[in-house]
Amino acid sequence: MHPFSYTRAATTRQALDAGRDGGRYIAGGTTLVDLMRETVERPRTLVDISALPLREIMVTRRGGLRIGALVRMSEAAAHRGVRALYPVISEALELSASAQLRNMATIGGNIMQRTRCTYFRDVTAAACNKRAPGSGCAARDGFNRTHAILGTSDACVATHPSDVAVAFAALEATVVVLGPDGERSVPFADFLLRPGSTPNREQALRRGELITGVEIPAHPRPLRSGYLKVRDRQSYEFALTSAAVALHIRGGVIREAKVAAGGVGTVPWKLPAVERALIGRRPSDALWTKAAERAADGARPLHHNRFKVELLKRTVERQLRVVGGGR
């Protein structure tokens, strides 16, 4: 680990001033400290923001939800409002990491976490454009079983590891950030960036900006939702594929559908083709199968992860059936 300085911000203003001067924000530290140990990250200054008042979970008047950036994953998962309104969020959080990590990691830090690509973390030998722009992508011709099949580029094929980010993507959440120029809201679909030719730029944050919360808009009721994660082992493992599904069914017809996938994209992957195939139709086993066939549209599998194309379709189909029922 390289030397660094440490400061603890007592107010939001202190945090913003330190961030503007190049400081890196840290709260739970469950990702950043690991990367510092591996010398992937070498910040000169850490700004501890754990004392800031960003821990509120609030149900809005219209039935939406605001989760403060410093709310612990375990707190959000257990919150009555979250569990009642959006069980897909609770389920995604409970299927993440370990209980110990969930008790430390924050919502803001979770969506900011960096890829688990082994080549990204191998600073001694592996080429990685995300870590060292212009060096190449060792994963493309290496062992790429766990890598992305959607949203990839010639520069990067790494997946985004967050589970709850998949739920946020499905529910079309907004990330609220505060910076030197004031507060702004960024649609979740625009917050996490696809690699393109600049995979080292992963979020739409500007210098010195701080995430203050995530807002989920109100969705029509009743709303059924849930999260399915497929992985190599039952616990403490990242997704090979996952599916976040939310369905508004009224009068026996699907009026609104929100679907996203994880473990297969360079960012949490919204599935609009699947959503369109569902809206206006009656739930049935045949519908789930037909809609799920669109889940892998645009996929570009690599040598070792071609299995993810079919696995993604089956994962989405299974979760549509669990959430929507079938006959």
Longest dimension (CA), the chain: 62
Q: Give per-residue pLDDT as tens, 150-175.
A: 999 999 999 999 999 999 999 999 99
Per-residue pLDDT of 54-69, as tens digits, reads 999 999 888 899 999 9
User: 285-292 vs 307-324: helix axis angle to the nearest 10?
Assistant: 150
What is the strand order of the sheet 65-68 is part of?
Answer: 57-59, 65-68, 210-216, 174-179, 182-187
Parallel, antiparallel, or unpaired: how do β-strands 65-68 and 224-230 relate?
unpaired
Judge if the upstream peptide bond of residue 222 is cis by omega within 30 degrees of 0. yes
Distance of alpha carbon 310 from alpha carbon 292, whole angstroms: 10
**Tokens, residue 45:** 């200054």
DSSP conformation letters of 11-50: SHHHHHHHHHTTPEEESS-TTHHHHHHTTS---SEEEE-T
Quickly state the pLDDT bin for 258 (edges 50, 70, 90). very high
Q: Phi and psi at residue 17, in whole multiples of 5°?
A: -65, -45
Could you report the per-residue pLDDT of 79-114, keeping only the tens digit for each? Answer: 999 999 999 999 999 999 999 999 999 999 999 999
**pLDDT at residue number 81:** 94
The reported pLDDT for the residue numbered 109 is: 96
pLDDT tens by residue, 192-215: 999 999 999 999 999 889 999 999
Tell me, which fold does domain 224-324 have in CATH?
Enolase-like; domain 1 (3.30.390)
Q: What percent of the chain has pLDDT over 90?
A: 92
Residues 6+ apart with CB under 8 A from 251: none
Give the residues across from 66 on adjacent strands: 58, 215
Domain boundary assignment for the chain: 1-47, 224-324
